[in-house]
Amino acid sequence: MKRHPALQPFSRDHNVGLVLARSLQTAPDNGARHEVARKLLEAWDVELKDHFSEEERLLGPLASEGMAERLRHEHRVIAEWIEAFRTTGEYGTTATVGTLLHDHIRWEERELFPAIEASATEEDLERLARETDGLEARRHDSPLAPRRGELMDRRASQVVDLAGLARAASSSGPAWGCATDDLNGTLVRWAEGEGVAAHVNDVVDVMMVGVEGRGIVVVDGRTEAMTPGALLVIPKGAERSVAAETTPFAYLNIHLKRTLQLSGAAMRPSRR
């Protein structure tokens, strides 16, 4: 099941946390343990501490009593281990901390978040989304996940060089995005031969603007060429597919924020 947008900023933190947990678990020798413990302390200061306290503040009241208690307990245990690294400089237990962190994140993703998604009201989730937008903004310049700010630019109040971003992107799919309370914009980039398979978006109209390179968009059987500066409005309910003819081919999709839920399924590269 796709994560509710209100919880996605926490889940993006979890991606960083799982990578860190893995390197804590697998550090092969003392030198590597020392290095990864140093990384963990840095992560604690710039992200993890904030993540823990925001989960307790925002998710605690939405969770059952038992789950809220487990959340606080596991945070406390992990925080104590991390503090011990700082005060003793003893790094022999990195694998234990890695496993605690890993298991904690897995529990949140597999049990806590689904339980909240199932029991919270729409108003709860909308309030939560406004709060986690703030969390996302604080991660904008994260040294732990430098690409995250590029992908989720929620403060695009300055001029953005879309063509430059499209040329700089090296992987396919969403290359940059911004979101306001009302609007969602995503810069999508493909290599030649890639694109989006035919699908129907029933939720909102999409305005598509060509940014870089050339591609073909088929809307309800009608073929349109997309080039930089071209604009195409795709009404909701229409079937559309996208195919890149150059590397890169990039375009900006703009729509009401509601379609966030759609992008996951529709954004996988389809080689043809």
Window 53 to 72, contacts with Fe ion (CB under 5 A): 55
Min dist CB 59 to Fe ion, Å, is 8
In the complex with Fe ion, which residue's Cβ is closer, 55 or 136? 55
In the complex with Fe ion, which residue's Cβ is closer, 55 or 194? 55
> d(Cα 14, Cα 104) in Å, to the nearest integer?
10
From candidates 47, 54, 108, 212, binder to Fe ion by CB under 5 A = 108
Min dist CB 108 to Fe ion, Å, is 5
In the complex with Fe ion, which residue's Cβ is closer, 111 or 220? 111
Q: For residue 159, with 0-12 CB atoms within 10 Å meaning exposed, 13-18 middle and 19 or more buried, which class applies?
A: exposed
For residue 80, give the 3-state DSSP assignment: helix
Min dist CB 105 to Fe ion, Å, is 6
Question: Quick one: tokens of 48?
Answer: 């993890």
Beta bridge partners of 178: 185
In the complex with Fe ion, which residue's Cβ is closer, 108 or 212? 108
Q: How many residues bind Fe ion (CB under 5 A)?
A: 2
Q: Which of the ranges 35-43, 102-110, 133-141, 148-156 carries the binding residues for Fe ion, by CB under 5 A?
A: 102-110
Min dist CB 15 to Fe ion, Å, is 11
Min dist CB 55 to Fe ion, Å, is 5
In the complex with Fe ion, which residue's Cβ is closer, 55 or 153? 55
Residue 194 engages Fe ion in binding (rule: CB under 5 A): no
- Which segments of 183-248 are extended strands (E)? 183-190, 195-200, 206-212, 215-219, 222-226, 231-234, 239-244
Q: Which of 166, 206, 208 is CA-nearest to residue 190?
A: 166
In the complex with Fe ion, which residue's Cβ is closer, 68 or 256? 68
Min dist CB 102 to Fe ion, Å, is 12
Contact 4, 27 (CB under 8 A): no
- In terms of phi and psi (left: phi > 0; alpha: psi -120 to 50; beta: otherwise), the region of 22 is alpha
Identity at 260, one-letter amino acid code: L
For residue 36, give the 3-state DSSP assignment: helix
In the complex with Fe ion, which residue's Cβ is closer, 112 or 244? 112
Min dist CB 68 to Fe ion, Å, is 11
Window 26 to 55, contacts with Fe ion (CB under 5 A): 55
CA 62 to the chain's CA centroid: 22
Kindly list the residues in this chain that would bind Fe ion in the complex (CB under 5 A): 55, 108
